[in-house]
Amino acid sequence: MAQHTRIEVAGVMQGTGMVPLFYHPDVELGKQVLKACYEGGARLLEFTARGDFAFEVFLELNKYAVKELPGMIMGVGSITDAAAASQFMQMGANFIVTPSLREDIALVCNRRKVLWSPGCGSLTEINRAEEMGCEIIKLFPGSTYGPGFVKAIKGPQPWTSIMPTGGVSTEESNLKAWFDAGVTCVGMGSKLISKEILATKNFGELQNSVRKTLDLIKKLRS
C-alpha cells in the first residue's frame, strides 16, 4: 500500500521541483543510486519499470527506502495498463507515471488515492486528464514540445501543473527555460543518472549532481 496520498506526493513534487528517473536490474546498484539521490536532497524517485522482473527489483528498492531513507517517496514509471499499476501499488508505489493517457490506469489509481501522471501531448489530452482528477501532467517527450508549448498552455490554463520528461538536462539554460515557462517540476533520467555514473559506480558524483541541480532549481524559482 502507498504510504503517501496523491496530494502529499504532488506537494513534494512541487516543493523539490525534480523527480529523478532510474532503472537498472541490479538491486544493490539501485540501492546505491537511491541513497545517493536521497543524500543529495531528492525526496522522490521514479523507477522506470522497463525490464524483465522489474517488479522484483522495485519491491526490494521500496523496502529499502521505507526502512533506511525516511521520507523518500518511491513511484513507478513506464506503466501501460491498469493491471501493472495495481501490481506496483500492491508493492507500495506512491505514484504511477504513464507514457500515454490511459483511463483504466486513472480509475485504479484514483480508487486508492494514488497520484498518477499521464504522458500527454495535446491540450485535449491535458484537459481530459484533469477531468479525470490528474494533479500533475507529464509532458512527454518533453524535447518534442519544448518550453514554448508549456508557456502556451499556461496562458489560458494557469492552473495546469506540468512535469516535462525527456529533453530535460542539468544545464542552467535548459532548466531556466522550463521553469520560466511555468513547469511545476521536471523529470530527469540519463542526464542526471548517466550511464557513465552507473558504469563507474561514482555515487559521490551523483549525490553532488543531484544537490547542485536542486539548488539551481531553487535559485531559478526564487
CATH number for the domain including 89?
Answer: 3.20.20.70
Q: How far apart are CA 101 and CA 120, in angstroms?
A: 6
3-19 pLDDT tens trace: 999 999 999 999 999 99
Is residue 12 one of the residues assigned to a domain? Answer: yes
| Cα within 13 Å of Cα(198), Cβ side | 19
User: What percent of the chain is modeled with pLDDT above 70?
Assistant: 100
Q: How far apart are CA 35 and CA 47, in angstroms?
A: 14
Is residue 177 one of the residues assigned to a domain? Answer: yes
Beta strands per DSSP E along 7-158:
18-22, 44-48, 73-77, 95-98, 115-120, 137-139
**Which residue range is the domain that position 159 belongs to?**
6-209
Q: How far apart are CA 57 and CA 52, in angstroms?
A: 10
Is residue 96 one of the residues assigned to a domain? Answer: yes
Tell me the pLDDT band of 147, cut-offs 50, 70 and 90. very high
User: What percent of the chain is modeled with pLDDT above 90?
Assistant: 98
90-126 pLDDT tens trace: 999 999 999 999 999 999 999 999 999 999 999 999 9
Q: Are 163 and 19 in contact (CB under 8 A)?
A: yes
The single-letter code of the amino acid at 40 is G
CB atoms within 10 A of CB 60: 14
Is residue 220 one of the residues assigned to a domain? Answer: no
Average pLDDT, integer, range 169-176 = 98
Q: How many domains does the chain have?
A: 1
Closest CA to 79 of 107, 101, 111: 101
> What is residue 113's predicted lDDT score, i.e. its pLDDT?
96
Averaged pLDDT of the chain = 97
Tell me the pLDDT band of 132, cut-offs 50, 70 and 90. very high
Is residue 222 one of the residues assigned to a domain? Answer: no
Closest CA to 95 of 50, 46, 130, 51: 46
Average pLDDT, integer, range 117-139 = 97
> What is residue 59's predicted lDDT score, i.e. its pLDDT?
98
The single-letter code of the amino acid at 202 is N
CB atoms within 10 A of CB 143: 13
> What is residue 151's predicted lDDT score, i.e. its pLDDT?
97
Tell me the pLDDT band of 190, cut-offs 50, 70 and 90. very high
pTM of the model: 0.96
Is residue 63 one of the residues assigned to a domain? Answer: yes
Is residue 218 one of the residues assigned to a domain? Answer: no
> What is residue 187's predicted lDDT score, i.e. its pLDDT?
98
Radius of gyration of the chain from Cα atoms?
16
| Cα within 13 Å of Cα(171), Cβ side | 6
Is residue 49 one of the residues assigned to a domain? Answer: yes
